[in-house]
Amino acid sequence: MYDVVVVGAGASGIMAAIAAARSGCNVCLVEKSSRIGQKILATGNGRCNLSNSAINSAICAGVCEDEKYYLAHSLADAYNNPAFVADVLSKYDYASIIAYFNELGLLTTCDLRGWAYPKTRWANSVLDVLRNAITRFGITVMLKTAITDIIPCNNGGFSALVGNTALNANKIVLATCKAQSYSGLSRLKIMSAQPILGPLQVPAQAIRGLDGVRTDAQILLIRGGSETNSKANSKANNEVFSEVGELHFRKDSLSGIAIFNVSRYAQTGMMLCINLMPELTYDELNELLQKRFRYLSDATMQEFLTGMLHTRLIASVLAYAGLNPDDYISKQCLQQISMALTNFRLPITGLPTFAQAQVTRGGYLTQRFNSATLQSQDYPGLFACGECLDIDGPCGGYNLHWAWASGTVAGMSAGTL
């Protein structure tokens, strides 16, 4: 018999177990795989981007209704279900989570973008201090253990079934990476899972020869439109989302942080409008091309763009503009080049798979959970946190921050209510 059983030993589950144990509870952390915190090690390319300073104390400290609305409004572009997220982050903002990790022994650093990392820039450091805390607080860890069902008991508490045996607990915290269906918890409603924060497939022919090329770009996602529509028509074609950042070309897909964030809103058939010169306005780019023409009026098309773009990218831009790289530059071609540089359009032919995606959208409907405690309204004593709730955010530490914050709230609530 345990006071609290936490199902799932990812980022949110580990934090929930530690928070419940710090409240004085006898805690069991259950994980179906052979190790805890496996996804933590893969975040931030192995460096663990654990939070973002945009989730800051000045905003999140608000307690009056106006300030709470401001918090929800400011997070609307970061998280889905922002009002629900706001209640959790008002308790555990950026400063609070960093201070919490400092207490556990982790030193952190923040880059110029506001993205927080362990000072070691090594994800293992984060997992190591969490493992130490698990040991220090006497948390029981059960690996290679799959919970097949959770049954509410008539006299209170729950039985978590593991094959033919049961773990009995006064409280249960659900912290799996995907929301699970349990016959004993039939009133829990689940939004179907969708992989996001991953690469987007585009026609391979359009990006042939670009595999491995990286460049900064602005990615505009539009609904409808054709590959030949002008930049001026983008708004008319229902702009959905825009992001500036690194673009990474693959054989038949686009990757990189900018694409990952766009993937949260993308659907097959939508169009990606790529601006390869995001640091310049349209007029500034045209002025630059005119200036280059004065210096390089005797150059070929290929030579004219050399030094502006990656060599392999030049060929694709000229092909998109309908120009021959071996022909000599002319004033009449500058407009075509400008349009190709700022309005390189590719249709989306496929979305991220579960294997490719960093995050899964969907999960238990937040409407059936108390945002202040993360307790189920249908099953008192049952809590949920992290990715199994229908909450997701962009790249940059937002998803891990939600895991830390929601796990702490769920664990503390399970330990004290």
Average confidence (pLDDT) over 85-112 = 93
- Asked, for residue 355, whether it belongs to a domain, the answer is no
- Asked, for residue 338, whether it belongs to a domain, the answer is yes
Domain-terminating residue out of 324, 347, 370 = 347
> Quick one: 37 and 154 in the same domain?
yes
Mean pLDDT of all residues in the chain? 90
> Quick one: 113 and 162 in the same domain?
yes
Residue 86 makes CB contacts below 8 A (sequence gap 6+) with 68, 71, 72, 75, 371
Could you list the residue range(s) of the whole structural domain that residue 106 is in? 2-195+361-416
Domain-terminating residue out of 347, 369, 390 = 347
> Quick one: 224 and 191 in the same domain?
no
Domain-terminating residue out of 308, 323, 347 = 347
CB atoms within 10 A of CB 211: 14
> Quick one: 373 and 341 in the same domain?
no
64 vs 71: CA distance, rounded Å: 11
Query: Largest Cα–Cα distance in the chain?
Result: 88
State the DSSP code for 204. Answer: G
pLDDT of residue 42: 84
> Quick one: 263 and 371 in the same domain?
no
> Quick one: 179 and 251 in the same domain?
no
Count of domains for the chain: 2
Contact status, residue 396 vs residue 3, Cβ threshold 8 Å: no
pLDDT of residue 164: 84
Q: Minimal CA–CA distance to 350: which of 273, 272, 267?
A: 267
Choose the most confident range, by mean pLDDT, from 225-229, 236-240, 380-384. Answer: 380-384
> Quick one: 119 and 219 in the same domain?
no
The pLDDT confidence band at residue 226, using thresholds 50, 70 and 90, is low
pLDDT of residue 330: 95
> Quick one: 255 and 184 in the same domain?
no
- Asked, for residue 15, whether it belongs to a domain, the answer is yes
> Quick one: 209 and 88 in the same domain?
no
- Asked, for residue 227, whether it belongs to a domain, the answer is yes
- Asked, for residue 37, whether it belongs to a domain, the answer is yes
- Asked, for residue 115, whether it belongs to a domain, the answer is yes
CB atoms within 10 A of CB 357: 19
For residue 231, give both structure tokens: 């930049």
pLDDT of residue 55: 85
The CATH number of residue 48's host domain is 3.50.50.60
pTM listed for this prediction? 0.89
> Quick one: 289 and 187 in the same domain?
no
pLDDT of residue 237: 54
> Quick one: 408 and 329 in the same domain?
no
Contact status, residue 282 vs residue 232, Cβ threshold 8 Å: no
pLDDT of residue 81: 87
> What DSSP line would sit under 94-112, residue for residue?
HHHHHHHHHHHT--EEE-T
Residue 290 is which amino acid?
Answer: Q
- Asked, for residue 287, whether it belongs to a domain, the answer is yes
> Quick one: 277 and 403 in the same domain?
no
pLDDT of residue 32 exceeding 60: yes
Average confidence (pLDDT) over 139-151 = 96
- Asked, for residue 135, whether it belongs to a domain, the answer is yes
